[in-house]
Amino acid sequence: MPYETLQVRTEAGKVGVIALNRPKQLNALNDQLMDELGAALKAFDADDAIGCIVVTGSEKAFAAGADISVMTKYSFSDVFRTEYISRNWEALRSVRKPVIAAVAGFALGGGCEVAMMCDFIIAAENAKFGQPEIKLGIIPGAGGTQRLPRAIGKSKAMDMVLTSRMMDAQEAERAGLVSRVVPLDKLMDEALAAAITIADMPRLAAMAAKESVNRAFESGLSDGVWYERRLFHALFSTADQEEGMEAFLAKRPAQFSHR
């Protein structure tokens, strides 16, 4: 499917790569881009060959936020009536395969929020994260006030949301927002290596692991542990559980069927 605001490709026959591509606007997120991102994610999620998805931007910007030139024309009645954000930014949440954000340059406002909707973030050394919406007279609108404190704690989240300051890659790693920081010229290699590792894992276990970790952010401990236990039990009905354990005991590589 041809996209105007994305570059989409497959790597190693098993990883879907989606690069946001509005370079003149530093990948500012407008409706067309978010519609296309949702469609590309859905297509990879439905493709049996694909085991992991990488979302990235350019070396200068992952995304500099929601498109301000569009938002400036909106009134309350426009955004409320059309369900701005809710209408087409939630697609990432419904993707069941693991999604890695490979972030270089600016990840601001909605850009930081899209990165946080992914399952984990690998950052280049030049990455800068921020929620500067307050300077525009608004607040983060795509989950930033909820996911940022869960990722980095209340104090740092308040600091960023209230002062609009940016956090560099090193601070983001120390704070737990990103899982690793790598040199800019190694960003895609690292993200693809991680994605291929994940794609080679038993698919159902990877999907269940993602679902269960995400549950930690949406439920109390008892509910979360109960949910995990049910998924853990369910995986004993899969071919890959049988194969993985037999292969370990026979000291041979496992041949997963992703069933």
Residues binding ligand CAA (CB under 6 A) = 25-26, 28, 64-69, 85, 106, 108-110, 113, 132-133, 136, 140-142, 144
Q: Which residues contact 183 (CB under 8 A, 6 or more apart)?
A: 124, 125
Q: Is 181 helix (H, G, I), strand (E, B) or coil?
A: strand
Name which of 34 and 195 has its Cβ closer to ligand CAA.
34
Residue 206 CB contacts under 8 Å (≥ 6 apart), including other chains: 51, 52, 97, 98, 198
Minimum gap (Å) between residue 30 Cβ and ligand CAA: 8
- Cβ-based nearer residue to ligand CAA, 88 or 238: 88
For 157, residues 6+ apart whose C-beta sits below 8 A from its C-beta are 145, 148, 149, 151
Residues classed as catalytic:
66, 110, 113, 133
Alpha helix ranges (H) inside 47-168: 68-71, 76-81, 110-117, 144-152, 154-163
Least Å from the CB of residue 63 to ligand CAA: 8
User: In this complex, which beta carbon is closest to ligand CAA, that of residue 78 or of residue 223?
Assistant: 78
CB of 87 to ligand CAA, least distance (A): 12
Q: How many degrees, rounded to 5, is the angle at CA 216 between CA 212 and CA 217?
A: 120
Please report how close the Cβ of residue 89 comes to ligand CAA at its closest, in angstroms: 7
Q: Which is nearer to ligand CAA, 108 or 188 (CB)?
A: 108
